[in-house]
Structure 1
Amino acid sequence: MFDDFMIRATLAGLGLALAAAPLGCFVVWRRMAYFGDATAHAAILGVALALALNTSVFAGVLVLALLMAGIVTSLSGRGYAVDTLLGVMAHSALALGLVAVSFLQGVRVDLMAWLFGDILSVTRADLALIWGGGGLVAGLIAWRWQALLTATLNVDLAWAAGINPRREQQILTLALAVVVAVAIKVVGALLISAMLIIPAAAARPLSRTPEAMVIFAALAGGAAVLGGLQISLFADTPTGPTIIATAALIFLLSTAFGRVIRPK
């Protein structure tokens, strides 16, 4: 079964959708879209360093994503405007990564694959990595679900309940770095944040509880993967961007349907 590249691509996309769904909901609730961008863009620099040092790309991306997330988190509490800081960090990381890739000698780098993903070339080892990382993220968020939700809703309430909001932020940072590391092969550095945000945003008009939103986000992400792969196959379009475009269409449909069932 795993010898069929479409089967491997489908399983990789579904694994990413399941991992991104709960994390994407927290990104939407906390308005961390730019934070996701900054972390994802740092992945290119991680790829360059991993190739230069002849080490695991997953490890390089994970370390750089964690480093970027840690820098942004620490600086955001020291009087810097968060949106400005994230814009500077995101674009600087991407530019540094692209420059670093250009200096690599004797290493063949398919830059488009790292920027926009190459889901059709996913191997069995990649599948194990994606599902292992996705399972780790899903398990981590399930374990800390109530604490993360309380810290997201109200910081003062979290402190009163004995929950440290900064610790919960660090847990989300770790989860985000892992998702970036496993997703870069599937949708690329430029589209990772879209896979986090769009399915969660599509689930929002249809959900009455946080748990329902996570479920709907997973379904929307899975539908985007399945639909995007089929459209890409028949229309001969780039697979990663087609998956994101399909997710955007699902978002438009869910928004329209949400307005019908919940008119103002």
Structure 2
Amino acid sequence: MTFLDDFLIRAALAGVGVAVAAAPLGCFVVWRRMAYFGDATAHAAILGVALSLALSLPVTVGALAVAVIMAFAVSQLSHRGMALDTGLGVLAHSALALGLVAVSFVQGVRVDLGAYLFGDILAVTKSDLAVIWLGGLAVVALVAWRWSALLTATLSPDLAHASGFNPKREGMVLTLALAVVVAVAIKVVGVLLIGAMLLIPPAAARPLARTPEAMAVLAGVIGITAAITGLWAAFAFDSPTGPSMVSAAALLFVGIGVITRLKHA
């Protein structure tokens, strides 16, 4: 077996696809301080997995449906006056617990919960790869199309109104894009690590970028590097693949941070 075996090439392409989709969206997660929002949406996806198994549907379909419902539920709670972090915490942990319980009641199906919690990128099939890349490209296209409006609404809702943009509508765009990324990434890094791939590459890219566009591109490069490096490390050291990818991203974050501090010392 070599690193260039077919299943490893599919795994690498899947990791790259998730990194490309997560990079621009992750920038808005960082700018808007939505890290917990991403975690809550991702945790809810396990409930979608249970729904898919019970109804014999593709996992991506159930995960996407529940992720969308979860994201909009959190948005409604925040608009009704509940503290956002409280609403996110309640919904995130409740959805994860309910999902795990629901999966245990699915009859006639053997479920490897570890694959959904931490990902199983080495088991990605050609059809999974198609879903990941189609979903990822759809997210990139959506964010690129609404880039100016999203950026303006992120900077200032008042400025967005003055520019003819609806901040609530742009928030809906981000919510939908986040749900799609969660749905396509569940097979790669799992529901517990999706938030890390959304957050860490943009956070690492932030000190290096002078413009928002540059930050999005650099986040993509860092995410791709982390995906390939983590996959290689998992192959070389027989470690879990999803956590290895996130660990690689974390090391890049620390390394860039140290270099940046030394440069400005």
Q: Structure 1 length normalisation: TM-score?
A: 0.98
Aligned 1:1-264 pairs, distance under 5 A: 4-263=6-265
Aligned residues: 262
| CA deviation after TM superposition for structure 1 residue 261, in Å | 3.2
Distance (Å, rounded) in 1 between the aligned partners of 2:117 and 2:58: 18
Q: Tell me the SS of whatever aligns to 1:230.
A: helix
The one-letter amino acid of 1:238's match is: P
Distance (Å, rounded) in 1 between the aligned partners of 2:215 and 2:203: 9
Segments of 4+ in structure 1 off by > 4 A? Answer: none
The one-letter amino acid of 1:39's match is: T
The one-letter amino acid of 1:63's match is: A
The one-letter amino acid of 2:174's match is: L
Q: Deviations over 1:191-246 (max 9, x none)?
A: 00000000010001111110110011001101101110111111100000010001
Distance (Å, rounded) in 2 between the aligned partners of 1:193 and 1:174: 15
The one-letter amino acid of 1:8's match is: R
The one-letter amino acid of 2:105's match is: F
| CA deviation after TM superposition for structure 1 residue 57, in Å | 1.1
| CA deviation after TM superposition for structure 1 residue 3, in Å | 6.9
49-58 vs 166-175, greater mean Cα deviation: 49-58
Q: Tell me the SS of whatever aligns to 1:188.
A: coil
Distance (Å, rounded) in 2 between the aligned partners of 1:183 and 1:171: 18
The one-letter amino acid of 1:90's match is: A
| CA deviation after TM superposition for structure 1 residue 4, in Å | 0.5
Q: Tell me the SS of whatever aligns to 2:187.
A: coil
| CA deviation after TM superposition for structure 1 residue 55, in Å | 1.2
Distance (Å, rounded) in 1 between the aligned partners of 2:34 and 2:263: 28
Q: Tell me the SS of whatever aligns to 1:218.
A: helix
For structure 2, the 5+ residue unaligned runs are: none
Distance (Å, rounded) in 1 between the aligned partners of 2:42 and 2:216: 21
The one-letter amino acid of 1:121's match is: A
Q: Deviations over 1:82-101 (max 9, x none)?
A: 01110111000100000001
For structure 1, the 5+ residue unaligned runs are: none
Distance (Å, rounded) in 1 between the aligned partners of 2:259 and 2:159: 34
Distance (Å, rounded) in 2 between the aligned partners of 1:133 and 1:260: 39
Percent sequence identity over aligned pairs: 66
